[in-house]
Structure 1
Amino acid sequence: MRRSTLAAALVAATLLAVTAVGFAGGAQAATLFSDDFEDGNSTGWTTSGGTWAVAADGSQVLRQSGTSSDARARAGSASWTDYTVTARVKPTAFSGTNRFAAVLARAQSATSYYYVALRSNNTVELKRLVNGTATTLASASLTVAAGTTYTVSLQVSGSTLRSTVNGGTALTATDTTYTAGGVGVATYYAAANFDDVVVETTAAPPTTSPVTTPPVTTPPPAPTGGPIGFAALNTLGQNGTTGGAGGRTVTATNATEFLEYIDSTETLVIRVSGQIDITSKQGVRPNKTIIGVGTSGHINGGGLDFYRSYNVIVRNLLFTNAEDDAVNVGQESHHIWVDHNTFRGAVDGSVDIVRGADFVTVSWNHFDHSDKSMLISHSDGAASTDTGHLKVTIHNNFFDNSRQRHPRIRFGEPVHIFNNYFLSNELYGVASVQSAGAVVEGNYFENVPYPCFSASGYADSGPGRLVQRNNVFVGSGPCEVAGSVVEPRTYYSYSVDSPSNVPSTVRAGAGYGKV
């Protein structure tokens, strides 16, 4: 468990994107409180109603298992004023059609506080509770399913309230009922698991009108040294992957600008500033660098699609709530580098590489509680388009409580998977099936029941080939190996860090905001 009172330690801005982009004020965030329940207890929490206990759900969580009452757990100080509370919320059962799991802020008592509720009628609501009487301040449609984990944030700053779910679906309101109070989690005739509760300070918004300043036009930092692995190779008319280098630098602050830039035939460095809401998968033409500005670059609701595209860098972005895939590299696209991004809540794949795509590197990304992280080849029937292609390098990624496909590979060879951190992957780590060939080396598998599938196939897919070496397995099953695989060194040189250092290195460096 991690707990702290207000101290000198500053928290990296990437811990909570909403803190970095939600309110003006300029102050850095400091940790007031945090608890991940890994010490096996809930010391410091006060509960009322329900049945509360610390239990295992991949990692340790605070579980409320009853569905027949209104239940709350509260922590923190009555003197806390402006802050953001964030928690991972996994509803596990609803007793009816209008039940909820919630995160609380400025809690005065068990019946008076602000809260954001995930309701079983597929809505999210920002609410106020006064002596047990609830008032809805803002609401939006949101699919809420039992068994799905949501990252829920509630920010209170002066009289302004703002909530987000998975970094998107923002709700805002103004209310002066409560100026201070602790935090909490709650259920209403529902069962739920709560984890990774973090409270950070927030500067109050300015009382005068903000000064409008022109957008920064200095170019973003160039990708130091370029990609490692297949995206770096000189082939198919490309001298590695350079993206928009040499072209104009432009800044997209809304969907109209963003879609215009990615569809342009011009060589461009496209800076993404703020949250951009798009739908479905949007095509990206060749010779582009798409890079987030600081910790503000955020693509919500849709994703990026590569159709016979090439020489594209996708970097330093938060992807949330993609209706399909967040990044789909398909239809003979090549020389694509996906680097230092965070993926949350995609309905389908976070990154899919399919239909004859080639020479791709996926590096330093954070797959944050995703379901289907990465698919290489979309179908058991795709041998004619995919055999001889799908050469992919996957290194230094954080597969963080993601369920499956890290990756699931058909036909591609070699797929090189090194120095990644696999943590509590429910179904499996790597699956090399349908004659694919994977080299898995220098990775760290922690609490992964099935690190690798190959000889036995997976689901309806037939066997593949897999070589593993120098991996660390902690609380994990064995890695299934089979056959021989073309060595990555046939194509490029590389070095592998000690796998024992991978958890700390990857935690510190993977994801957006860490370029």
Structure 2
Amino acid sequence: MRAVPRRLTLATTAAAITTIALTGAAVLVATTAHAATGCRVGYSIGSQWPGGFTGNLEVTNLGDPLSTWTLRWTFGGGQQVVQAWNAEVSQSGSTVTASNVSWNGSLGTNASTSFGFNGSWNNTSNPAPSDFTLNGVACTGSANPTTGAPAPTTPAPTTPAPTAPAPTTPPPGQTPTGIIGWATQNGGTTGGGNASTTTVTTAAALTTAAGATGAAVIRISGTITCSGMIRIRDNKTILGVGTNATLSGCGLTINGNRNVIIRNINFRNWADDAINVEGNATNIWIDHNSLTNGYDGAIDIKRGSDYITVSWNRIFGHDKSMLLGHSDDNASQDIGHLRVSYHHNWFDGTNQRHPRVRFGNPVHVFNNFYGGVTGYGIASTMNAGVLVEGNYFENTADPYHLGEGSSGPGSLVARNNHFVNSGNGQTGGSVAAIPYSYTLTTPSQVKSVVTNGAGTGRIGL
């Protein structure tokens, strides 16, 4: 799986702090005998709640300088990494592998770097991991210099001295580690990267900044009262500041543009769509927003748009949540496109379109929480192919079905979903293969993980 930038700040129902330090030495093989190698790892649980937790790691290089690094460890309690930040993280069984991202690969002697992750656990035991190795050498807290003398055992500085500070988002050309799914394809999605940051507090300022040419990181502060749709051009990151960044009365539209990130914004009372993506727009990431009480779609994607991830959003108090493909007669533009990943979203008492899909194949709907959906969850129509995987359906009578209204059926494959007081859903046909790697949250733990992680205010912006 891929990791996410920056740490999520999650509600803590059972806080637990556990720190470990591992010390000792390792012997190098003959081909690398001239390089001193050694490492120290500190691990802590920052937050813990039923079914989920946040883990933090600091790794210190006690040997010769490294240009890249890979840290591995073993979980002893069945824990699973859900998402991570400031590292590329994957898991196979109980073994977890974390590798540097573009800006933190260089580790000088006694330099440290930190990263973190959200994980799931079984609510019985959450022991600290073991068997840490850095680039294949055990992390035992001392180095193996060629002289044979022990390395200094004084703690490495808490804050390393990198050649440049880690940017809020990686530079253009490097997909942020938080993105999973279709937005990682087609060259990846970087938004504004490490371009200059502008903070806006008015609709006029937001319109100007979002519509300008060139890459930019635009931060929304406070509540902006607006109307209509504000257009976002290429290579933009739109970030809400804190928990209260709000667009009230308007929406954001991406029309024919590419490489856009929208995160951590409250959308209220929009008169059209809250977020509209159309006109063959590509490489879009819509993440950790909260949306309620608007007129039409909360997040609508249509007209040949492609390579999009919609993740960790909360929609509540609203009718039409997420439309994918706007009409039955748009096959010529839509077939071969409309490939979207929807994961870890919270549909909280909403009515329909979670999503309603036309033509896209494969569309990946995984690890979402459907709580009290009153109409239907997912509809696959017009020859679409939808994989519905590892979701949690609670008090949702119609979790998924084929066809909707006047739209003919598509294909839908369902697997590993969890049902509580909900219907079984309708399946049929086959779906194209998913081309990217990902790690599923255990379906029975999705409700806890998503309700503690979705929406605004969870990513520390």
* Pairwise TM-score range, normalised by the shorter structure: 0.5 to 0.7
- Any idea what SS the aligned residue of 1:459 has? coil
For 2:218, the aligned partner's letter is I
In structure 1, C-alpha distance between the alignment counterparts of 2:394 and 2:212, rounded to whole Å: 43
Pick one of 259, 262, 276 that aligns with 1:314: 262
**Is 1:227–2:179 an aligned residue pair?**
yes
Q: 2:150 aligns to what? A: none
Equivalence for 1:511: 455
AA matched with 1:446? E
Q: Identify the match of residue 469 of structure 1 among 400, 415, 430.
A: 415
Percent sequence identity over matched residues?
48
In structure 2, distance between residues paired with 1:441 and 1:423? 16
Report what 2:446 is aligned to: 502
Is 1:406 aligned to residue 406 of structure 2? no
1:333 aligns with 2:277: no
Work out the number of aligned pairs and report it: 293
Q: Distance in 2 between matches of 1:261 and 1:220?
A: 20
CA distance in 1 between counterparts of 2:245 and 2:387 reads: 33
1:226, 1:241 within 8 Å by CA — same for their partners in 2?
Answer: no
Corresponding position: 1:441 with 2:389: yes
The residue type paired with residue 486 of structure 1 is A
Contact 1:361–1:393 at 8 Å: present in 2 too? yes
Residue 383 of structure 2 corresponds to residue 431 of structure 1: no
Displacement of 1:494 after TM fit? Answer: 0.9
**Residues in 2 aligned to 1:256 and 1:328: alpha-carbon distance in whole angstroms:** 19
CA distance in 1 between partners of 2:310 and 2:321 (Å):
12
| Structure 2 counterpart SS, 1:259 | helix
Q: Give the one of 358, 361, 377 matched to 2:309.
A: 361
- Offset at 1:321? 0.5
Match of 1:268 in 2: 216
CA distance in 2, matches of 1:303, 1:219: 31
Q: What is the alpha-carbon distance in structure 1 between the residues aligned to residue 274 and residue 189 of structure 2?
A: 20
Q: Aligned AA for 1:358? A: D
**How far is the alpha carbon of 1:398 from its aligned partner?**
0.2
Q: Deviations over 1:339-363 (max 9, x none)?
A: 0000011100000000000000000
Structure-2 residue corresponding to 1:452 = 400
TM-score normalised by the chain length of structure 1: 0.56
SS state at 1:349 partner: coil
Are the aligned partners of 1:226 and 1:242 in contact in 2 as well (CA < 8 Å)? no
Amino acid at match of 1:500: S
Matches of 2:398 and 2:440, distance apart in 1: 23
Give how far 1:246 is off.
2.6
Structure 1 Cα separation of the partners of residues 414 and 217 of structure 2:
38
CA-based RMSD = 1.7
Partner AA of 1:368 in structure 2: F
Secondary structure in structure 2 of the residue aligned to 1:352: strand
Look up the SS of the partner of 2:227 in the other structure.
coil
- Tell me the secondary structure at the aligned position of residue 321 of structure 2: strand
Cα deviation, 1:31-69, whole Å, max 9, x if unaligned, reads xxxxxxxxxxxxxxxxxxxxxxxxxxxxxxxxxxxxxxx
Other-structure match for 2:134: none
Report 1 or 2 for greater relative contact order, CA contacts < 8 Å, sequence distance ≥ 6.
2
* Aligned partners of 1:291 and 1:316 also within 8 Å: yes
Is 1:288 the counterpart of 2:232? The answer is no
> 2:424 pairs with 478, 495, 500, which one?
478
List gaps (5 residues or longer) in structure 2.
Answer: 1-9, 13-164, 171-175
Query: Aligned to 2:225, which of 273, 277, 285?
Result: 277
1:34 alignment counterpart? none
Partner Cα separation in structure 2 for residue 380 and residue 346 of structure 1: 24
The structural deviation recorded for 1:458 is 1.3
Kept after mapping to 2: 8 A contact 1:219/1:249: no
Give, in whole Å, the separation in 1 of the partners of 2:342 and 2:387: 10
Deviation at 1:12, TM superposition (A): 6.2
CA distance, structure 2, for counterparts of residue 220 and residue 283 of structure 1: 25
Separation in 1 of the partners of 2:282 and 2:197?
Answer: 23
Unaligned runs of 5+ residues in structure 1 are 1-10, 14-217
- Secondary structure of 2:204's match? helix
Secondary structure in structure 2 of the residue aligned to 1:504: helix
1:392 alignment partner, one of 330, 336, 340: 340
